Structure 1
């Protein structure tokens, strides 16, 4: 009994000195105040980990820097198919799509073939794109970031949650990226026909959320990843989640962050109540600063 009382009293002392304990299922977490740069919540933010399709934010910035004609039509070739996982999803080979619509598909639907086609048509080709990517990594000070290919399918594409905060901040300087990724859905022209694509981030447009820029990612190596800039609790924050085992865990972490910042739980966006509540058994506790004023 005395031991239990001592433990409970110790926890009260932790809370009273401005600390609290929060569960995160994601392996790496950063929540940063966009205006001040203050880290509000974190968990192993400095370690590099696979980032999957979060890579496409960097790819989009390099592509937009080239200022190519968004109305030029490009063809999806066999070279644009997935050589890592041999997946069959994406725009059919032979499709003809305007460059601007390919960027929509890359960022909104995370279409790997669209991304590959854009990079193939980069001025100077793949080698020039790779060199431009390295310059972008260096210019942003991404010391824990390595990008081997532009889609994120390679497990060698790695970054830290801290570096991804820098990536999101840089991406906000590209209005097209914010415009595309803050939509729930968008209609694009593929082979002369209109096609509606939906945002892979279900938090976009969900009650209680105002997402300004976002990107999700998934591979078996990376787990479920999310990078977004959003308004919550009267402030603009940058949220990075890397390495959740399941979509429900990633969503649960985002809800936990929202509750921490706002003091209320937003409406659920996962269909199954059971999926919302199931958490990984290996989840660990992390110590974070107390609620911001």
Structure 2
């Protein structure tokens, strides 16, 4: 299964998540363009080598290794997961706390990988362990696993659009707890197998450690998901129930799409601003108003996704106008 996107849009732009993705891409292509030998040498220099870490040397590689990838598929896979799941965690934590969470989660994941290498002394042939001790660990997957752990607790029921390869290629929507729970069980299974000395080149215990770190941080600090507020800047609107009556009119509605926002205007003469009820989701707007025998109701599908927060609402001369900022 390969995730495509989650049906859980953040309320603000995830600038730190963008920055992390850009840095990872730039570092990879900078290393890649240096030639094969130099590329391998740079991985050895900036990757986290357990034997050196345990001897107290090159501790900075616990962080530099998070921004290095072994090949293009390694990079694309990690960045896909970071793109899908990272924005919501940044939305909850805020920009600075998210960056700290990401880096510390990656550090915890590296330490879990090193600990699993030491544990292998008791479970696998010595020559496998020695090879692992001198193999550099690289990649953002440990830090991203921390993001996944936090996401599963914060948004267990968020829907994940997923490509499934089974006879035919199809796209399904599954809840996050199912997708990420299955992912974690797979990491655990492969992690246990790796302790026997059967290697695959994947640091499964880094994934496990990062995921557990994300779970622990959410629980330890009692982090709560950000509620999706449907409101004007100062006041909330009542939930909208469909108005069903012979005299209900559909208002004339005009939608203007701009690079960063969507302006909605509806002609509803004869009511007051206090009579207006709005309900906004990522792709839909419901506009309703009722005053005496005058009733309006309109279910509008938007041409682009928006942040479900109404701003700059006005009602003048029978024209309702408000702004919705676009999701980027």
Task: Calculate the TM-score normalised by the size of structure 2.
Answer: 0.26
Please identify which structure carries the higher strand content: 1
Please identify which structure carries the higher helix content: 2
Task: Calculate the TM-score normalised by the size of structure 1.
Answer: 0.28
